Chain A
């Protein structure tokens, strides 16, 4: 059975083709203004790369912030359930998930792929990928390079603002004080990691814990979280696709489209 999962995220749109229990292909693209056209293009690219025709696909399930806009999907699932299913595919033994995406971050307690409890960040950008993206700009560093730059720091700068906009001003004033770039980068990582650690402790996450979402690609963040939580995090080879993968897995089960 071939199913497709589409995770229409705030920053990126992800798609996974699942052939029974095997990933037959995946794509990650930037989300354009229009969620639907982004998803449509992604869908066609997915089919092209895996040499499949539209008729071969039995079911499409959408998740993510823009899931309701993916009108060609037959079903939707919340990203919390989707991540739980997707992570379970990679790491069946996992009991806790930390997902840090572009617009939100979440901590999920799972048991055999089933959601037991979850907590999401408050509605602002604090503790999300957006925070890093914004502040990396003030640091004039590419977001991809922020993590490795931070790993070179011995004395991370103290960045205390929770608000993303205030943190940006803080970065500029640290630059004005001549603080090395690596220390500021490390300070930013410590700042966001603290937000996530608080959520993880509040939920009482137990090992093994998986770390997914776009920010899981940031090596500095992973090291900082592991240090603060005193755990080893399991990170899938492609941590950005667990939501889409979970949606594709959900599509294999008979479920109806949400009424909203």
Chain B
């Protein structure tokens, strides 16, 4: 067995430290922003002097609360997140305490389930919705998103009472780019054969990216990279898997865990808890607002149409990470990713790379059924 990584313990230890930090900040009057998507730029929040914490739910326990309000047939991520918000705001004890730390939720107009659920949020917490163009590859889209980001910046000014200066914004862009570069370093290490770390371990780290402060997260990634440089994972040759699709919010590791228990090794995640969260950098040479608008519109989210850049990204990852097979994982009722599956499948077929599609939710009822599909897929690859 390879020795356990001490850097992974860092992330465990930081959990309570971060919560204490946020509580202390709040007492000092620092505004805490709750976010639910990669499209809300950290850089703007931090340069206004606020802090942020991700509110995406990955656990099943708050879903029944949400279903008192929402239809049953929307995705578990939206239900879990919303359930946690209403539970925390009504004095409930089911969810973790993150929501109670949040002053304002900054939401974003992405998929239908999220947009319409956000309309219910102001009842419980002050909510701001950042709008997004849906056809990102047009000049009009960039102009519009630029104006939306500036509007959001002005909103943040009023929230914190500090105006966002160009210098502050540039500093935060540099810091966020530093995080992205570190994550590229980490992911580059996974190109090795065998990779020095399991994907299920990386996922648990990625789930902390928007929970920890940038400085805390960067420190942890640096520690992991340093440890991995010299580490050889003591495993036999296993099929190299690219996990692609819906995010795995903290608490949800079901599908990646099954893949690795059954004998595959995940070498990259094309998801919001993977490459989509850090792949592109903000151009530091440009006007910071323009740089942000361009970078964030490059996130290949399935809410965008057409989403050619995602197909290209997946094809590149398959080649660069020497992937044997792709597991396309969607959350039940996530129409954007479920429909886009067809185009991804088609592109992979052309490359002669096998793909297994799995649709699941936050329950445990389908662990066996997923297991048998994964097992057969891995047998097929080896």
Give A residues with C-beta under 8 Å from B. 65, 77-81, 104, 114-118, 120, 122-123, 258-260
Closest 8 CB pairs of A and B: A80-B376, A78-B376, A78-B375, A115-B380, A81-B379, A123-B369, A123-B366, A260-B261
Look across to chain B and name the residue whose beta carbon is closest to the beta carbon of A255: B379
Encode B354-382 as 1/0 by CB contact (under 8 A) with A: 10000100000110110111011101100
Nearest chain A CB to B350 CB, angstrom units: 14
Q: Using A80-B376, A120-B373, A122-B359 as known contacts, say yes or no to A259 and B263 having CB atoms under 8 A apart.
A: yes
Q: Across the interface, which residues of B come within 8 angstroms of A116, CB to CB?
A: 354, 380
Interface residues of B in 282-298 (CB under 8 A from A): none
- Is the CB of B98 closer than 8 A to any CB of chain A? no
CB within 8 A of A118: which of B261, B371, B376? B376
- Separation of A125 and B371 alpha carbons in the complex (Å): 18
Contact status B380-A118, CB under 8 Å: yes
Q: Across the interface, which residues of A come within 8 angstroms of B263, CB to CB?
A: 258-260
Encode B123-159 as 1/0 by CB contact (under 8 A) with A: 0000000000000000000000000000000000000
Q: Across the interface, which residues of B come within 8 angstroms of A65, CB to CB?
A: 368, 372
Look across to chain B and name the residue whose beta carbon is closest to the beta carbon of A64: B372
- Separation of A81 and B368 alpha carbons in the complex (Å): 17
CB within 8 A of A79: which of B365, B368, B372? B372
Contact status B380-A258, CB under 8 Å: no
Q: Across the interface, which residues of A come within 8 angstroms of B368, CB to CB?
A: 65
Nearest chain A CB to B254 CB, angstrom units: 13
- Separation of A81 and B376 alpha carbons in the complex (Å): 6
Nearest chain B CB to A89 CB, angstrom units: 17
Look across to chain A and name the residue whose beta carbon is closest to the beta carbon of B354: A117
Q: Can you name 5 extra interface pairs (CB under 8 A) apart from A65-B368, A80-B379, A259-B263?
A: A65-B372, A115-B376, A116-B380, A123-B366, A258-B263
Look across to chain A and name the residue whose beta carbon is closest to the beta carbon of B366: A123
Contact status A258-B375, CB under 8 Å: yes
- Is the CB of B171 closer than 8 A to any CB of chain A? no
Total inter-chain residue pairs, C-beta < 8 Å: 46
- Is the CB of B262 closer than 8 A to any CB of chain A? yes
Nearest chain B CB to A118 CB, angstrom units: 6
Nearest chain B CB to A219 CB, angstrom units: 29
Contact status A81-B261, CB under 8 Å: no
- Separation of A118 and B373 alpha carbons in the complex (Å): 9
Q: Using A258-B262, A258-B263, A259-B261 as known contacts, say yes or no to A79 and B359 having CB atoms under 8 A apart.
A: no
Interface residues of B in 181-227 (CB under 8 A from A): none
Q: Across the interface, which residues of B come within 8 angstroms of A114, CB to CB?
A: 380
Contact status A260-B262, CB under 8 Å: yes
Interface residue tally on B, bucketed by range: 10 to 19
Contact status A259-B262, CB under 8 Å: yes
Give B residues with C-beta under 8 Å from A. 261-263, 354, 359, 365-366, 368-369, 371-373, 375-377, 379-380
CB within 8 A of A260: which of B366, B369, B371, B376? B371
Nearest chain A CB to B234 CB, angstrom units: 14
Look across to chain B and name the residue whose beta carbon is closest to the beta carbon of A115: B380
Q: Across the interface, which residues of A come within 8 angstroms of B380, CB to CB?
A: 80-81, 114-118
Contact status A77-B262, CB under 8 Å: no
Supply 26 A–B pairs (Cβ within 8 Å), ascending by A.
A65-B368, A77-B379, A78-B372, A78-B375, A78-B376, A79-B372, A79-B376, A80-B376, A80-B380, A81-B380, A104-B369, A114-B380, A115-B376, A115-B379, A116-B354, A116-B380, A117-B354, A117-B380, A118-B376, A118-B377, A120-B369, A120-B373, A123-B365, A259-B261, A259-B262, A260-B371
Nearest chain A CB to B151 CB, angstrom units: 43
Nearest chain A CB to B119 CB, angstrom units: 31
Q: Across the interface, which residues of A come within 8 angstroms of B354, CB to CB?
A: 116-117
Q: Across the interface, which residues of A come within 8 angstroms of B371, CB to CB?
A: 260
- Separation of A116 and B366 alpha carbons in the complex (Å): 24
Q: Across the interface, which residues of B come within 8 angstroms of A77, CB to CB?
A: 379
Output the residue of B369, B372, B376 with the most chain A CB within 10 A.
B376
Look across to chain A and name the residue whose beta carbon is closest to the beta carbon of B360: A123
- Separation of A79 and B373 alpha carbons in the complex (Å): 9
Q: Across the interface, which residues of B come within 8 angstroms of A118, CB to CB?
A: 376-377, 380
Contact status B261-A78, CB under 8 Å: no
Q: Across the interface, which residues of B come within 8 angstroms of A79, CB to CB?
A: 372, 376
Nearest chain B CB to A120 CB, angstrom units: 6
Q: Across the interface, which residues of B come within 8 angstroms of A122, CB to CB?
A: 359
Look across to chain B and name the residue whose beta carbon is closest to the beta carbon of A83: B376
- Separation of A114 and B379 alpha carbons in the complex (Å): 10
Look across to chain B and name the residue whose beta carbon is closest to the beta carbon of A114: B380
Look across to chain A and name the residue whose beta carbon is closest to the beta carbon of B381: A115
Nearest chain A CB to B269 CB, angstrom units: 21
Nearest chain A CB to B161 CB, angstrom units: 52
- Separation of A78 and B262 alpha carbons in the complex (Å): 11
Q: Across the interface, which residues of A come within 8 angstroms of B372, CB to CB?
A: 65, 78-80, 120
Nearest chain A CB to B343 CB, angstrom units: 14
Nearest chain A CB to B348 CB, angstrom units: 11
Q: Across the interface, which residues of B come within 8 angstroms of A260, CB to CB?
A: 261-263, 371, 375
Nearest chain B CB to A260 CB, angstrom units: 5
Q: Across the interface, which residues of A come within 8 angstroms of B373, CB to CB?
A: 120
Look across to chain A and name the residue whose beta carbon is closest to the beta carbon of B379: A81
- Separation of A80 and B376 alpha carbons in the complex (Å): 6
